[in-house]
Amino acid sequence: MSDQNSTTPRVFIARHGETEWTINGRCTGKSDIPLTANGVGQVRGTGQLLVGDRKLIDPSKIAHVFCSPRQRAQSTLDLLLGDSQKDKLVKEGKITTTEDIAEWDYGDYEGVTPHDIRALRKEKGLDTDKTWDIWTDGCEGGESAEQVRERLDRLIQSIYNIQKPHMNGGAAADVLIVAHGHILRAFTKRWLKYPMEFPFTMMMEPGAIGVMSYAHHNISEPAILIGMGFPQNS
């Protein structure tokens, strides 16, 4: 499926499959919630369609993988790549497990729905003149938006360092990130150089894949790839 003539490196962002807390909308940060059977099926379906030789995500073209430490992300990575491809990348030193792409630390709001968070904050006398917004208010006992921005910017700089030498061809330098819905939306904002509070509404289904790249083969112009063609394989 992949365009073999493409020379601009890409960053694939993969959200883990469904968990029980995904179903009921509870904020899931550090809690190690496993995938449901349906979540496993979601990721397997994505992998079968999009991951493999000459497909959208071609493991032979991956320069590095960054994965959240949480088991739902680790399981998703295993399902996407399969044992043989993952083992090969591990032996090549191309897989990094890092807290830089772990889910937002929700602190006191862990396991609570956004609706109930807003109610709890109102009871405490917070947000009397506005509605709670994680992008500006952060989480009590957890991370602020600034703390999340700092770790994402550090990760993005690492990706730049990997991909900058390959902006006009040469060795394949795609990057795969496997993580969580909220942190991947935050990553997208920072990839596009938007401030965390920028009102950029995004959705990402469990088991979904998003694609980032660069405009004009320029490391200084990170972009979101909102559409791409799928040339016929020969």
Catalytic sites, residue numbers:
16, 103
Any known ligand binding at 214? no
Any known ligand binding at 104? yes
Whole-number Å distance between alpha carbons of 10 and 224? 10
Helix then strand then coil, % of the chain, to nearest 5: 40, 15, 45
Contacts of 214 (CB under 8 A, 6+ apart): 8, 9, 163, 167, 221, 222, 223
Any known ligand binding at 72? yes
Any known ligand binding at 128? no
Instruction: Name the DSSP letter for residue 232.
Output: P
Residue indicated by tokens 């959200």? 15
Whole-number Å distance between alpha carbons of 171 and 177? 19
Any known ligand binding at 106? yes
Any known ligand binding at 103? yes
Beta-strand pair 222-224/209-214? antiparallel
State the binding site: 28-29, 72, 103-106
State the binding site for substrate: 28-29, 72, 103-106
